[in-house]
Structure 1
Amino acid sequence: MLVRVRSGLITEESVYGIVLVSGMIVVAGGYGATSWQTFLAVIGTVLVFWAAHVYAGTVAGHGVLEGDETTLSGAFHRAVRRSLGFLFAALLPCFVLLLGALRVIDDSVAMWTALWLGVVVLGVLGFSAFTVRGSSWPVRIAGTLGTAAFGLAMIALKAIIH
């Protein structure tokens, strides 16, 4: 079961999802959006991108190759499973944005915390991916830093824009 969860979450879709969320936070912050506005924009964008990804995966996975007997339903289910990491990656940053939207924490704190959580999530994804593959510790650390660097790039953009 744990292997199945890992394989569903440690995907390129997870990395892409968190980078998308971070990018949305950067853009919203550049326009002076509140946590509530940013939360709604991020949720809406993530859902649209996720639906488009599922649709594309379904179309691309449905009997494209000669002799492939994959049904439309089978292709859809595989695309949904494959893209769940996209949704899960957005959960923590969106939760923090929601805390800002509900005025539990300040808007600015919510935005920056969500961005730093993105870095952490990316680092965990990188570390997990290399650990699952049995990589050595130096490779795991390099993978962690390399994956987290995408989140750091978003923070640098936020700093420049802000």
Structure 2
Amino acid sequence: MTDDQLHITPRVGRILMSEEAIYGLILVSGMIVVSASSSGAAVDAAITVAVTVIVFFAAHVFAGTLGRLAATDGRAGLRASLRASTHQSSGMLLASLPPLVILVLGATRVIDDSTAMWAALIVNTVLLGALGWIAVARWSTHWVPRILAALTTAAFGGALIALKAIIHH
């Protein structure tokens, strides 16, 4: 499946194909597991995830800005470095939206707390698998590397689902 088949704009596709987007999904899954083990409430998980993603995004932008300035001996300029780093890191924010929406549905009692947290973890795992598949599909027409990439990327989410199952049973 390509970005065109998914009706994703090229800009959104580039953001989602970033290491920051994949890292963001793994971070969100970890925060869901941690927050679920302490309270079990979707509202707590939503707040924990939102605050953590914002802090990690800000830290990533800050580090990226400093790194760009250092790599260019300041020639890149503060504004340009900040803009480039913000753009590069935006995948972390974008990738966190689907699980956050699900957690908010749980927090507002549209769905059960436990269902919201499990659904957010499953959606993250599916998204990780899809990102792995699409990333490899950009450079390989062979299905074996695509499947291996999808399974490997999804395995990060699967590992956190297993951790949640172990912690809560």
Q: TM-score range by the shorter chain?
A: over 0.9
Q: Write the deviation string for residues 36-80 of structure 1: whole angstroms up to 9, x where unpaired.
A: 1110111000000000000000010015245x7311111111101
- TM value normalised by structure 2: 0.90
- TM value normalised by structure 1: 0.94
Q: Write the deviation string for residues 13-53 of structure 1: whole angstroms up to 9, x where unpaired.
A: 11110001000010111113310111011100000000000
Which residues of structure 2 form unaligned runs of 5+?
1-7
Corresponding residue of 2:5: none
2:97 & 2:121 partners in 1: Cα distance? 12
RMSD: 1.5
Residue 152 of structure 2 is aligned to residue 146 of structure 1: yes
Letter in 2 for 1:78: A
Does the CA contact (< 8 Å) of 2:40 and 2:114 recur in 1? no
2:18 & 2:139 partners in 1: Cα distance? 13
Residue 54 of structure 2 is aligned to residue 47 of structure 1: yes
Moved over 4 A (4+): none
Residue 104 of structure 2 is aligned to residue 98 of structure 1: yes
Which residues of structure 1 form unaligned runs of 5+?
none
SS class of match (2:71) = coil
Alignment of 1:83-122 (within 5 A): 83-122=89-128
Letter in 2 for 1:64: A
Corresponding residue of 1:155: 161
Number of aligned residue pairs: 161
Does the CA contact (< 8 Å) of 1:25 and 1:111 recur in 2? yes
Letter in 1 for 2:58: A
Q: Write the deviation string for residues 74-128 of structure 1: whole angstroms up to 9, x where unpaired.
A: 1111101111111111111110000000000000000100000110110111011
Does the CA contact (< 8 Å) of 2:41 and 2:113 recur in 1? yes
Match of 2:36 among 26, 29, 37: 29
Q: Give the C-alpha shift of residue 132 in structure 1.
A: 1.6
Over the matched positions of the two proteins, sequence identity in percent amounts to: 45
SS class of match (2:111) = coil
SS class of match (1:33) = coil
